[in-house]
Structure 1
Amino acid sequence: METHHIRLTASEIGGLWANYVADSMFVCVYKYYLAKVEDNEIKKVLEHALDLSQQHMQVVKKIFKEEGHAIPLGFTEDDVNLDAPRLFSDEFFLFYTKQMTKGALVTYGTILPHTFRKDIREHFMSCMSSTMELFNETTDLLLSKGLEVRSPYIPYLEEVDMVEKQHFLAGWWGKQRPLTAAEITHLYSNIQTNFMGIAVITGFAQVAKLEDIKSYFKRGKEISKKQVQIFVKYLRDEDLPSPTTWDAEVQVTTESPFSDKLMLYQISMMTAAGMGNYGTAIAASPRRDIAVDYVRLQGEIGLYAEDGLNLQIKHAWLERPPHAADRDQLMK
């Protein structure tokens, strides 16, 4: 029986395209990490991460070739210098991998519901499954090495209680209600991701070649530091601990292992993920003061993200993503 060939939808093309570009960057990053790592246990995790990124790229390349769709340029061996000195510690390589797997799981979970063709669904389900394995492997190793910092503990509920007062939503004046478990989760997680961003961007600012890129990274570091202080205050007001910084994991060097193009893309990707995290946190934070802070800070990093895109355009580093047909242009 002859089967009808089903074309890829816009959401499928967009998901595959973004998947390829991001994993081409991770291939460069993990090849460099593997050239520097000394801890054998961490090395195995990095090898796993590299293997997954390479597998994902191969699948997407095969699909695009079969469909006659252009394959993104992404990032190549020209964007990484394996001979550059170490920029981050072995422990940082592990922290980085944990944070990247968390982001990837969110990304795949967002793309998967918008896929239809069986092979595309299977690809993204496989991406989720393999990334979950890497997430567990990374978390287990961080715990075994005493490097993982758990989120705060709170008392167990002894009985079910219903909210009876509008004060549950209040948050600007007077005595505030205690933070909910969900609010604590998102505050803690957003502190962690900002601390990771500060460490990454500190290293990148040290080694960036172009002055406008270096200045952009410095500005991003200051934004993250300011936002961390706001989130930490909420936890401290409840006598809850906050995560530790990773600044000390950045080594003293000015020779770059990555192209400015790759570093700017990495920061743009992390900034976009941060905006998404804040959006999720707003929905999970009934207290008005917390929600308002998230909205304000989301706007701040949104402007920062826009400036990053302008820099990519300025230096001709931004690949045009798949897009709808320009009918007006075609009819001229």
Structure 2
Amino acid sequence: MAQTEHNIRLTSAEMANLWTSYISDSSFNCVFKHFLTKVEDKEIRPILEYGLKLTEKHLSTLKQILHHEDFPIPHGFTEEDVTPDAPRLFSDSFFLHYLSSMGRSGLLFNAVAISTAARSDVFDFYNECLASSAEVLKKSREVLLSKGLFIRPPYIPIPKEVEFIQSSDKFFGGFFIDKRPLTAMEISHLNINIQTNSIGKALIMGYSQVAKTDEIRKYFLRGKEISKKHIEIFSSILTKEDLPAPMTWDGDVMESKVAPFSEKLMMYQVVALCAAGLGNYGSAIASSPRHDLATNYGRLSAEIGKYGEEGARIIISNNWMEQPPIAIDRKALTT
């Protein structure tokens, strides 16, 4: 990794990404450690081991960069947030889908981080993270395919010729006129948002079984219902056009009532899923010209945003949320 002179300060974007990466990687480190105590499948175990080694490598590099800047190392998540002897809560196939989902999310986050990095050491770090996220996605995809668990997006015909849109009303319409068929981009986003909601629903379902605090259990149960509703809405759009909707993974949640993780870690994961969901829906809006789709995404984004804020309030009320780097309060300095 390239050496950086002291006079090259971290930008606010670099601080934000490095701080977020430390919190995130420390959480994945805990999750992968627990999953490795339960996994039985010989094809899935190596991917979990690879993911764990990545988090350890990332945390080590992040500490070096932050120490170099006298930046306080975030507390993040530690072994205190894991219960090693807790019974299995999720199946091996869920571990595989979780890895695939985390690889996909990592690609999106690291692509943004590398695009805003000015310092060479930060750029190099996120360049490595981008490659490793792609590798996690590749490894998990290969095993999903070999086991017949990979959910392929729907197939549609290849266009016979180049065509130009003749009517903007018909292309953008979706309320008071006949809806045009879905575009390939719209189908892709519906498919991926069903899959991510399915992962979230299974995760929250499991966490609702093991939560000790009544407030947090009710929060998880509400999240499960929100995910269920979003899956049904997106699936109905596909099925109305005679396109298949992806399956869900509710059956991958076991009967355990013992928490494998602290409520702090479980709450962080759920709120992080909300943030990722908002990003996915934002991308879907930009790629879905049909008015009814954009309206659905906008309405459902508001619901996710409100749910995520409620979760953040619970985290703050329990003194679990670390404050991210913030700008100087210039007004306070002049009073």
- Fold shared by both chains (TM-score > 0.5): yes
Find the partner of 1:300 among 303, 307, 321: 303
1:176-232 per-residue CA deviation (whole Å, 9 max, x = no partner) reads 110000000000100000011110000000001111111100001111111111101
Give the deviation of 1:4 after TM superposition.
6.3
Matched, 1:93 2:102: no
Q: Which residue of 2 aligns with 1:271?
A: 274
- 3-state SS of paired residue (1:174): coil
Number of corresponding residues: 331
Partners of 1:191 and 1:173 in 2: CA distance: 26
| Alignment-derived partner of residue 258 in structure 2 | 255
* Equivalent residue, structure 1, for 2:201: 198
Change (3 A) 1:218 1:4: closer
Structure 1: gaps (5+ residues): none
Cα deviation 1:52-105 (Å, max 9, x = unaligned): 111111100011111100000000000001100000011110000001111111
Q: Deviations over 1:219-255 (max 9, x none)?
A: 0111111111110111011100011110000000110
Instruction: Give the alignment's TM-score, normalised by structure 2.
Output: 0.97
Q: Does 1:220 align with 2:199?
A: no
Query: Deviation string for 1:250-279 (max 9, x for gaps)?
Result: 000110010000000000001100000000
- Distance in 2, matches of 1:47 and 1:276, equals 28
| 1:17 corresponding residue in structure 2 | 19
SS at match of 1:306: helix
Aligned to 2:285: 282
- The answer for the alignment partner of 2:172 in structure 1 is 169
Unaligned runs of 5+ in 2: none
Provide the C-alpha distance between the structure 2 equivalents of 1:70 and 1:330, rounded to a whole number of angstroms. Answer: 23
Provide the residue aligned with 1:291 in structure 2. Answer: 294
**Which residue is 2:140 aligned to?**
138
Query: Which runs of structure 2 are paired with 1:108-123 in the superposition (5 Å)?
Result: 108-123=110-125
Q: Does 1:28 align with 2:30?
A: yes
Query: What does residue 236 of structure 2 align with?
Result: 233
- Output the CA distance in 2 between the equivalents of 1:212 and 1:248: 25
Deviation at 1:174, TM superposition (A): 3.4
CA distance in 2, matches of 1:51, 1:110: 23
Q: Which amino acid aligns with 2:241?
A: E
Instruction: Select 2:187's aligned residue among 184, 187, 194.
Output: 184
Aligned to 2:260, what secondary structure does the other structure show?
A: coil
1:319 aligns with 322
| In structure 2, C-alpha distance between the alignment counterparts of 1:85 and 1:3, rounded to whole Å | 49
Residues 249 and 3 of structure 1: CA distance in aligned 2, closer, same or farther (over 3 Å)? closer
CA RMSD of aligned residues (A): 1.1
Q: What residue in structure 1 maps to residue 69 of structure 2?
A: 67
Which amino acid counterpart does residue 7 of structure 1 have in structure 2? R
Matched, 1:43 2:45: yes
Q: Against the structure 1 CA distance between its residues 4 and 44, is the aligned structure 2 distance closer, same or farther, given a 3 Å change threshold?
A: closer
Paired AA for residue 252 in structure 1: E
Runs of at least 4 residues off by over 2 Å:
2-5, 327-332
How far, CA to CA, are the matches of 2:44 and 2:204 in structure 1? 22
Partner Cα separation in structure 2 for residue 98 and residue 135 of structure 1: 5
Q: Percent identity?
A: 48
